[in-house]
Amino acid sequence: MKITILAAGSRGDVQPFVALGLGLQAAGHDVTLCTAALFESFVGGYGLKYAHMDDELIRLADTKAGRAALEGGGSKLQLLKLVQPMIRRMLDDAWAASQEADAIIYHPKTLAGYHIAEKRGLPVFVSLPLPMLTPTRAFSNPALLPNVRLGGLVNRLTYTLMPFLTAPYMGTVNAWRRETLGLPPRSRFASELIAPDGQPMPTLYSYSPHVVPNPPDWPETTTAVGYWFLDRRGDWQPPADLQTFLDAGAPPVYIGFGSMTGTHPEEKARFTLEALRRTGQRGLIATGWGGLKADDLPDNVFVIQEAPHDWLFPRVAAVVHHGGAGTTAAGLRAGKPTIIVPFIGDQPFWGQRVYELGAGPAPIPQKRLNADNLAAAIQSAVSDPAISRRAAELGEKIRAEDGVGRAVAIINRRLGVRDAAPA
Rounded to two decimals, what is the model's pTM? 0.91
Instruction: Examine the pLDDT at 293 and tell me if it is beyond 60.
Output: no
Per residue in 39-50, pLDDT (tens digit) is 999 999 999 999
Q: Label residues 381-407 b or e (16+ Cβ within 10 Å = b).
A: bbebeebbebbeebbeebeebbbbbbb
Mean pLDDT of the chain: 91
**Tell me, what's the pLDDT at 163?**
87
Instruction: Examine the pLDDT at 420 and tell me if it is beyond 50.
Output: no
Helix (H, G, I), strand (E, B) or coil at 168: helix
The better pLDDT of the pair 286, 172 is held by 172
Neighbours of 163 (CB within 10 A): 16
The better pLDDT of the pair 259, 79 is held by 79
Instruction: Examine the pLDDT at 392 and tell me if it is beyond 70.
Output: yes
The better pLDDT of the pair 288, 170 is held by 170
The better pLDDT of the pair 265, 419 is held by 265
Instruction: Examine the pLDDT at 423 and tell me if it is beyond 60.
Output: no
- Which of these, 416, 410, 420, lies nearest to 105 by C-alpha position? 410
**Tell me, what's the pLDDT at 154?**
94
Contact partners, residue 277, CB within 8 Å, separation at least 6: 298
Instruction: Please state the rounded mean pLDDT for residues 112-131.
Output: 97
**Tell me, what's the pLDDT at 79?**
75
The better pLDDT of the pair 147, 98 is held by 98
Helix (H, G, I), strand (E, B) or coil at 124: strand
Instruction: Please state the rounded mean pLDDT for residues 12-35.
Output: 96
Backbone angles phi, psi at 152, to 5 degrees: -55, -55
**Tell me, what's the pLDDT at 264?**
66
Q: How confident is the model at residue 290 (pLDDT cuts 50, 70, 90)?
A: very low
Instruction: Examine the pLDDT at 121 and tell me if it is beyond 60.
Output: yes
**Tell me, what's the pLDDT at 258?**
65
Instruction: Examine the pLDDT at 313 and tell me if it is beyond 60.
Output: yes
Q: How confident is the model at residue 289 (pLDDT cuts 50, 70, 90)?
A: very low
Q: Running DSSP on this structure, what letter comes out for residue 113?
A: H
Domains in the chain, CATH or no CATH each: 2-227+401-415 (3.40.50.2000), 240-399 (3.40.50.2000)
d(CA 331, CA 61): 24
Instruction: Examine the pLDDT at 162 and tell me if it is beyond 80.
Output: yes
